[in-house]
């Protein structure tokens, strides 16, 4: 066992038995390198990364390679999901130097943590023009021993270049009508009208862009925006990206047609997409959107929920194919022969037609990924449900993919928002309870006495790494959604505590008027540069997630400092939105909310069980006004500032729709409220 045996990260623990003498990222590791006068090998990956497992098996489990590493290097292993700041800083260097990036990320550093040589996956033998990992190690060692001055010069230049790549954001106004229209036009140009989605292969689910499209349609009535959202969601849900038996989405599609996925299932994708499909149903009444939202929510609760009430990070892409080989997609793919074995001849033929399983296969070795290439209505629904149940039961007997069961604060915040809203929309109190359970865990375990967030936990043990900006923004977003759904003001209070940290510790203290936000706190560990990125990756950027939560909190409370900070933060969206709309979708969605107000809806009733109150509350939650916030309670309640001074009307429950705490005349009629909120 090496030093990783004491870590909480499942990814690091997977390497605890390596013959490599791994260190976790720590000051002690770099001091050891300095004392021994050795370079540092930094290897960054994550638990469900296919090529990370491949390189570990080929190189880090190899005694000879490990012996060479232990003699000539100090080896540091990082879980990018635990330390997104470390990953971001060195990935920027890798991409700048090589023009590409990915995981595993392999970086060689000086003992001062300055990078001087980069790569991603290296094979055990030379292949396709790539050197072997051993050749790389020997080359780096020779450079370190014989050309140290050159190494130092290269490392210093890289650090200086990274410093010059600072965003240099000078502020600006939030995007207005014109900028949002230009962003929509840019998306239209990149849209794939035959297949849905944007760009070519590989194709990632554009959940944040779809949220913008839905909000833009709600505010402007743009049918083009809605059609792109509808068609993309349908193509994704009918393709192999979506698990047609068990629900939930894979990470991305390797092709343009959404047929063959990269099979890992991430919590963040499923939380974001669950919410998107629920919002699509809210806007259109689509039965497909309803089914997918609920199936995805059920998948998260069934397969990702931990014993402590949080949600695990991911399921691996690989699993045992039954012969001892670890193969990507083995758990999910089918051959006609496997269908016959489970279903018999007649139902196997039906399943093959329904799910697009062919003799040639759509995947590898004659296997097919299940899809829905035809309309369900042409098949007997009861018979299809029987087929699905039997296939799902048979699949459950296969060796299951591994689960990365660490709880990441930000991704659990996304799950809280998705499950709370989906449960409320579809009268599923169990989903709301699951959201409350995850929120309770975040408060109980991840928040310290000063309301500072820890990034991760596992098995009820909190990790040592501090939360980053996306943790604060996404958890606050989840708490705000939970406050609107449950009517419990404590969640609004917790969101406020987190957002106070955003204002105090993540802003540009010297130039607050620019609205710039940093991914790490001012008092966090100092890396070779302080990471800062307003663009979306697989999740909303910390910058725009914080902007959205600040705006929602301001709408709830009237806090001018929070609204001002949100408006300033959205200045970057005014700059980038028209130019790169695919990569700042959540910022555009937040900008839609700002342009719309956002609406503030106060529902006052005599008590929580009053059916008129319940009807108005549900109507408010189903309104499509972008970013609207909802408060529900009695006129005497002091949990929500929105309820202050809002009396019953004629002794009955009433709804007040406001902007900037200026309200229209109250209504007791759910239909009038629906019309006021675009529901």
Mean pLDDT of all residues belonging to the chain: 95
* β-strand partners of 663: 658
Residue 178 main-chain phi, psi, to 5 deg: -65, -45
| Residue 488 domain flag | yes
89-113: average pLDDT: 91
Residue 587 shares a structural domain with residue 604? no
Report d(CA 108, CA 119) in Å as an integer.
9
- For residues 316-350, b (16+ Cβ closer than 10 Å) or e, as one string? bbbbebeeeebbbbbbbbbbbebbbebbeeebbeb
pLDDT at 166: 67
| Residue 173 domain flag | no
536-544: average pLDDT: 96
Report d(CA 216, CA 213) in Å as an integer.
5
For helices 490-505 and 542-557, what crossing angle results, to 10°?
130
472-478: average pLDDT: 98
Tell me the pLDDT tens digit for each residue of 419-474.
999 999 999 999 999 999 999 999 999 999 999 999 999 999 999 999 999 999 99
Report d(CA 382, CA 387) in Å as an integer.
9
Residue 290 shares a structural domain with residue 358? no
Q: Would you give the distance in Å from CA 347 to the centre of its chain?
A: 38
| CA-wise closest residue to 303 among 240, 371, 249 | 249
pLDDT at 129: 80
Residue 378 shares a structural domain with residue 420? no
Q: Would you give the distance in Å from CA 166 to the centre of its chain?
A: 25
CB 330 within 8 Å of CB 280: no
Residue 472 shares a structural domain with residue 584? yes
Q: What CATH code is carried by the domain that includes residue 16?
A: 3.40.30.10
- Domain boundary residue among 164, 194, 225? 164
pLDDT at 203: 96
Flag whether pLDDT at 410 surpasses 80: yes
Report d(CA 361, CA 365) in Å as an integer.
7
Flag whether pLDDT at 313 surpasses 70: yes
Residue 565 shares a structural domain with residue 419? yes
Bridging pattern class, strands 40-45 and 74-79 = parallel
Task: Name every residue whose Cβ is closer than 8 Å to that of residue 290 and which is 6 or more positions away in sequence.
Answer: 277, 281, 426
| CA-wise closest residue to 659 among 604, 609, 575, 601 | 601
| Residue 249 domain flag | yes
Task: Name every residue whose Cβ is closer than 8 Å to that of residue 265 and which is 6 or more positions away in sequence.
Answer: 48, 243, 248, 249, 250, 251, 299, 303, 314, 315, 401
Owner of token pair 């309870």: 433
CB 54 within 8 Å of CB 106: no
Residue 435 shares a structural domain with residue 551? yes
Helix (H) or strand (E) holding 657: strand 654-659
Residue 47 shares a structural domain with residue 99? yes
pLDDT at 167: 67
| Residue 52 domain flag | yes
Residue 282 shares a structural domain with residue 311? yes
Task: Name every residue whose Cβ is closer than 8 Å to that of residue 639 and which is 6 or more positions away in sequence.
Answer: 487, 488, 489, 490, 492, 633
Q: What CATH code is carried by the domain that includes residue 485?
A: 1.50.10.10
233-259: average pLDDT: 97
CB 220 within 8 Å of CB 283: no
Report d(CA 254, CA 247) in Å as an integer.
19
Q: 161-170, 289-298, 300-309, 628-637: lowest mean pLDDT where?
A: 161-170
Bridging pattern class, strands 600-604 and 629-633 = parallel
Residue ranges of the alpha helices (H) in 175-328?
177-190, 207-220, 223-238, 267-284, 287-299
Residue 606 shares a structural domain with residue 574? no
CB 242 within 8 Å of CB 249: yes
Residue 389 shares a structural domain with residue 410? no
Residue 77 main-chain phi, psi, to 5 deg: -110, 130
Task: Name every residue whose Cβ is closer than 8 Å to that of residue 153 and which is 6 or more positions away in sequence.
Answer: none
- Domain boundary residue among 540, 562, 596? 596
| Residue 629 domain flag | yes
| Residue 322 domain flag | no
Q: Could you tell me the maximum CA-CA distance found in the chain, to the nearest angstrom?
A: 88
352-377: average pLDDT: 91
Share of the chain above pLDDT 70, in %: 99
- For residues 182-192, b (16+ Cβ closer than 10 Å) or e, as one string? ebbebbeeebb
Residue 386 shares a structural domain with residue 454? no
Tell me the pLDDT tens digit for each residue of 8-67.
899 999 999 999 999 999 999 999 999 999 999 999 999 888 889 899 999 999 999 999
pLDDT at 163: 77
CB 248 within 8 Å of CB 265: yes
Token code pair at residue 124: 């055990």
pTM for this prediction? 0.95
pLDDT at 168: 65
Residue 235 shares a structural domain with residue 115? no
Tell me the pLDDT tens digit for each residue of 147-182.
999 999 999 998 888 877 766 676 789 999 999 999
- Domain boundary residue among 142, 164, 186? 164
Report d(CA 316, CA 325) in Å as an integer.
14
| Residue 172 domain flag | no
What is the number of structural domains in the chain? 4
CB 275 within 8 Å of CB 210: no
| Residue 325 domain flag | no
Domain that holds residue 72: 3-164
Report d(CA 362, CA 646) in Å as an integer.
60
CB 578 within 8 Å of CB 527: no
């Amino acid at each position: 066992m090496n030093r990783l045996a004491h870590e909480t990260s499942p990814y690091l623990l997977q390497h605890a038995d390596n013959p490599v003498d791994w260190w976790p990222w720590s000051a002690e590791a770099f001091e050891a390198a300095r004392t021994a006068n050795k370079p540092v090998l930094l290897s960054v990956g994550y638990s469900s990364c296919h090529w990370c497992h491949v390189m570990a098996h080929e190189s880090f489990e190899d005694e000879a390679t490990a012996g060479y590493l232990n003699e000539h290097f100090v080896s540091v292993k990082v879980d990018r999901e635990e330390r997104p700041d470390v990953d971001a800083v060195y990935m920027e260097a890798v991409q700048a130097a090589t023009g590409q990036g990915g995981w595993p990320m392999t970086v060689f550093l000086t003992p001062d943590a300055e990078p001087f040589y980069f790569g991603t996956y290296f094979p055990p033998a030379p292949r396709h023009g790539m050197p072997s990992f051993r050749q790389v190690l020997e080359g780096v060692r020779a450079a370190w021993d014989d050309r140290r001055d050159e190494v130092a010069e290269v490392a210093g230049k890289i650090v200086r270049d990274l410093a010059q790549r600072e965003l240099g954001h000078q502020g600006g106004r939030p995007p207005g009508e014109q900028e949002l229209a230009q962003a929509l036009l840019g998306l239209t140009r990149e849209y794939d009208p035959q297949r849905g989605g944007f760009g070519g292969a590989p194709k990632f689910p554009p959940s944040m862009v779809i949220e913008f499209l839905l909000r833009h349609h709600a505010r402007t009535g743009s049918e083009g925006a809605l059609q792109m959202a509808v068609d993309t969601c349908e193509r994704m849900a009918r393709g192999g990206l979506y698990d047609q038996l068990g629900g939930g989405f894979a990470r991305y599609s390797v092709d343009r047609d959404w047929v063959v996925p990269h099979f890992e299932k991430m919590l963040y994708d499923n939380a974001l997409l669950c919410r998107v499909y629920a919002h699509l149903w809210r806007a259109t009444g689509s039965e497909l959107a309803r089914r997918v939202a609920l199936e995805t929510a059920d998948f998260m609760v069934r397969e990702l929920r931990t014993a402590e009430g949080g949600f695990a990070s991911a399921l691996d892409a690989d699993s045992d194919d039954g012969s001892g080989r670890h193969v990507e997609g083995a758990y999910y793919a089918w051959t006609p022969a496997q269908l016959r074995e489970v279903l018999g001849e007649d139902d196997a033929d039906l399943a093959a037609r329904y799910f697009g399983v062919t003799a040639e296969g759509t995947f590898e070795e004659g296997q097919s990924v299940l899809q829905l290439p035809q309309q369900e209505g042409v098949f007997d629904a009861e018979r299809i449900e029987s087929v699905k149940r039997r296939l799902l039961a048979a699949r459950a007997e296969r060796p299951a993919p591994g689960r990365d069961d660490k709880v990441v604060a930000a991704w659990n915040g996304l799950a809280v928002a998705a499950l709370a809203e989906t449960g409320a929309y579809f009268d599923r109190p169990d989903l709301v309870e699951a959201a409350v359970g995850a929120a309770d865990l975040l408060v109980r375990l991840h928040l310290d006495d000063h309301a500072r967030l820890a990034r991760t936990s596992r098995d009820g043990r909190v990790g040592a790494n501090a939360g980053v900006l996306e943790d604060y923004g996404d958890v606050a977003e989840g708490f705000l959604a939970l406050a609107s759904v449950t009517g419990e003001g404590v969640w609004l209070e917790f969101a406020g505590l987190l957002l106070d940290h955003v204002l105090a510790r993540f802003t540009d203290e010297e130039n607050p008027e620019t609205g710039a936000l940093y991914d790490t706190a001012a008092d966090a560990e100092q890396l070779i540069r302080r990471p800062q990125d307003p663009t979306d990756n697989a999740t909303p950027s910390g910058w725009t997630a914080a902007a959205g939560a600040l705006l929602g909190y301001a709408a709830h409370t009237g806090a001018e400092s929070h609204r001002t900070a949100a408006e300033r933060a959205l200045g970057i969206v005014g700059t980038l939105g028209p130019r790169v709309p695919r990569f700042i979708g959540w910022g555009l969605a937040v900008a839609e909310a700002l342009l719309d107000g956002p609406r503030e809806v106060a529902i006052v009733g005599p008590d929580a069980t009053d059916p008129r109150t319940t009807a108005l509350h549900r109507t408010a939650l189903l309104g499509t006004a972008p970013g609207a916030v909802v408060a529900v309670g009695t006129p005497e309640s002091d949990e929500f500032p929105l309820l202050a001074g809002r009396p019953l009307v004629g002794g009955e429950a009433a709804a007040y729709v406001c902007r900037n705490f200026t309200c229209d005349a109250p209504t007791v009629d759910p239909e009038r409220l629906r019309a006021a909120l675009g529901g």
